[in-house]
Structure 1
């Protein structure tokens, strides 16, 4: 197997270490992500997901263990942190946390401009990134960021990260607070970035529907540990695991488990909507 683009080795992190209020957020977490993969990290609130992903671009430095991103060891004091953050783009759950400029075009251009790129290259990157996320450059570049909807702000934040042309895109609850239409559109954009642009995507989510639709693999976090990993089919097909760690399920999986509990011979691993429909049709046709 090739060297992973993100390699986490026995990573531990304690908040307020050495005080009576110390809290173990991560406890010897190991995780690997291959280039071009789409990886989901799931688990209850407080399981350590957000702390983990903030190590990927150096927002938090390892206290114990290692985080190696595309050959760069994040624990090294002399690491080129700017280079790291150009390779790993992190989009926060709240888009307002990373909107810096008054106008949309200026905000998307902020990163490339700080990189010292020629103005023509900056403009090309801004147009490219805005197009990728579904923002019309001519219509939106002079729009005030404060006047945007929640979905538009999320797109601008994503475009600002993509304008750096990172190798890894990290998303914290990418569709939180979006209406169903905006959610589906953004999921489609993320899927295309991964499948067509070859961008490595890592995302944290409580929404099991989007996990089932996007992820190639899933890591389950609990109490600061990575307790298991597998494909969505392996994770959602393991009812004991779901119950033990209080993991929600996509609606399709929930339907299949309910049918099986009522005595029907059905495959709960058939979580994709079209597969679920086939399973139900088999029951009807018997």
Structure 2
């Protein structure tokens, strides 16, 4: 086991919406996962598999019904849980940034959380400036800009900055790049990777986009029918054809290309799923250098 603090520990977690009514729905049943300090964890699975319900437990939006959720040593089943302290420790960015933008001006919105925590004005300003710099929003130029006039990508940056200004230990993201154009998507992915690798922030994200899973994640949890059915490194997940088929897991486009080349008889490494690695494999095929190559 890594010699790092356990930041998230989930065991046998279950949750039922509208229990005891005709609309009762079991969202989680016996789910489990863990994340160590500095990890970047992806949670994938089909719509309705329980991903969003799971991550809403991490900052106390949903409290454990049965099972265990421990965040940085804090048991979330405790009746006298300090939710304010928990939500400073765990920052959750929703799929729709509009759900967490409250103020008219960018600077005021990013400062909203720190002010609610009662931090001194000087500390709030420093936190806002740092958070805006991290996500790529120029403080002097953007702090007084109206939030309603922002593009979708800018709104995501503002929502993320508003969470980062709280200086959380854990960053939780629900479909962080949904609806973004390719340039904004790449910029945001680079920011998340910077926060994880350089700022040592523990990151957990839900995604349907396997390219960003391959780019960001150290470990992947696959969910189905309210529980975790598989977990491993991206390489372990994306190179197991049997499990990919059994759980109908999507794969990055690079993996799809490599598998097609394999099916055509080319000797390529299907574990080379990053863009640079896959490009090298394709270049070798085109150059006809690897043993057993044939052209069709």
Give me the TM-score of the superposition, normalised by structure 1: 0.98
**1:20-35 equivalence runs, <5 A:** 20-35=22-37
1:51 alignment counterpart: 53
CA distance in 1, matches of 2:88, 2:56: 14
CA distance in 2, matches of 1:285, 1:238: 26
Aligned-pair Cα RMSD in Å: 1.0
Q: Deviations over 1:190-239 (max 9, x none)?
A: 00000000000000000000000000000000111100100000000011
Determine helix, strand or coil for the equivalent of 1:285.
coil
Q: Among residues 4, 7, 18, which one is paired with 2:6 in the alignment?
A: 4
Is 1:285 paired with 2:289?
yes
CA distance in 2, matches of 1:153, 1:178: 11
Structure 1 gap ranges (5+): none
CA distance in 2, matches of 1:130, 1:141: 9
CA distance in 2, matches of 1:202, 1:9: 17
1:241 alignment counterpart: 243
Tell which deviates more after alignment, 256-265 or 34-43. 256-265
**1:152-231 equivalence runs, <5 A:** 152-231=154-233
Give the superposition deviation at 1:18: 1.6
2:293 alignment counterpart: none
**1:91-170 equivalence runs, <5 A:** 91-170=93-172
Give the superposition deviation at 1:165: 0.2
CA distance in 1, matches of 2:206, 2:35: 14
Moved over 4 A (4+): none
Determine helix, strand or coil for the equivalent of 1:65.
strand
Give the superposition deviation at 1:3: 4.4
Q: Deviations over 1:154-194 (max 9, x none)?
A: 00000000000000000000000000000000000000000
CA distance in 2, matches of 1:239, 1:84: 40
